[in-house]
Amino acid sequence: MQIINTTSSYFSIAKLSEGVYAAIAKKGEGAMSNAGFIDLGDEVLIFDTFVTPNAARDLRKVTEDITQKKLNMFLIAITTEITLLVIKFLKT
């Protein structure tokens, strides 16, 4: 596992294998859960999106920086009002 430096105060990135990354939440910084992304070649999939819009924005930026691809898919396991707000920020 390779740790990748990011500018996010919400999480750190661990490269688990080629194209598979874990976004590990930093305790007490507002992400409140782990997330990650997968580079599928032509597309990028973010799974989970953290709990706060700011952490989600950082995840999108870091994902696009690392993969050099624009986000076009995300998967969220639980839908809540907070999650719907995060989805709104990810789509913009």
**CATH assignment at residue 73:** 3.60.15.10
In terms of pLDDT, which residue wins out, 1 or 65? 65
Q: DSSP secondary structure string, 3-55? A: EE--S-SSEEEEEEETTEEEEEEPTTSS--S-EEEEE-SS-EEEE---SSHHH
- pLDDT, one tens digit per residue, over 2-59 is 888 788 899 999 999 999 999 999 887 777 788 899 998 988 888 876 777 888 889 9
Reading the block at residue 65, the tokens are 């920086």
pLDDT digits (tens, 9 = 90+) for 49-82: 677 788 888 998 999 999 999 877 666 655 555 5
Count the domains in the chain: 1
Structural domain harbouring 12: 2-91
